[in-house]
Amino acid sequence: MIFVRQFEIDIKNRTHALAEVCDILARLNINIKGVATEATKGGVRVKLVTDDENNTREALKGRNIEFREFEIISAKLPDRPGELARLSKAMANLNIGVESIFLMHKENGFAELAMKVDNLNEARKLLE
């Protein structure tokens, strides 16, 4: 179990905005490890996990891109049917709400997930 940062950027409904954010990170050799988007009123919310949190933060600030960041928790699960169901039920039983989830990596029979939850301390205890 590790902790990483999730960056959330609200992009106005401009066609090139996502490409611009990705290009800024690429030019600085920052790798995007997880990405998700969702439609919002008037635009798109982009959620990113990168391999370089400090430089991601500085790159976004340097371009005056507004963002929010959150500590999220990463865990490895066996890559087989039912494992996410088992984990999400255990979290629900402890009243831990999952706000977002990323599939970060799959290899050697395991899947690494990163989750933004509403109770990080309880999630930490569950995953330890």
Q: Do 113 and 79 sit in the same domain of this protein?
A: yes
Are the C-beta atoms of residues 46 and 9 closer than 8 Å to each other?
yes
Domain of residue 111 covers 72-127
User: Hey, CA dihedral for 68, 53, 62, 18, is it positive or negative?
Assistant: negative
**What mean pLDDT is reported for the chain?**
91
Q: Do 108 and 49 sit in the same domain of this protein?
A: no
Q: Do 46 and 83 sit in the same domain of this protein?
A: no
Task: Please check the confidence at residue 42 and state whether its pLDDT lies above 90.
Answer: no
Query: For a pLDDT cut of 70, what percent of the chain falls above it?
Result: 98
The string of pLDDT tens digits covering residues 101-110 is: 888 889 999 9
Q: Under DSSP, is residue 88 helix (H, G, I), strand (E, B) or coil?
A: helix
Q: Do 64 and 85 sit in the same domain of this protein?
A: no
Q: What does the pLDDT read at residue 95?
A: 95
Query: CATH number, domain at 102?
Result: 3.30.70.260
**Beta carbons within 8 Å of 71's beta carbon, 6+ residues apart:** 3, 4, 5, 6, 120
Q: Do 33 and 47 sit in the same domain of this protein?
A: yes
Q: Give the position of tokens 């997930």.
A: 113
Q: Do 62 and 94 sit in the same domain of this protein?
A: no
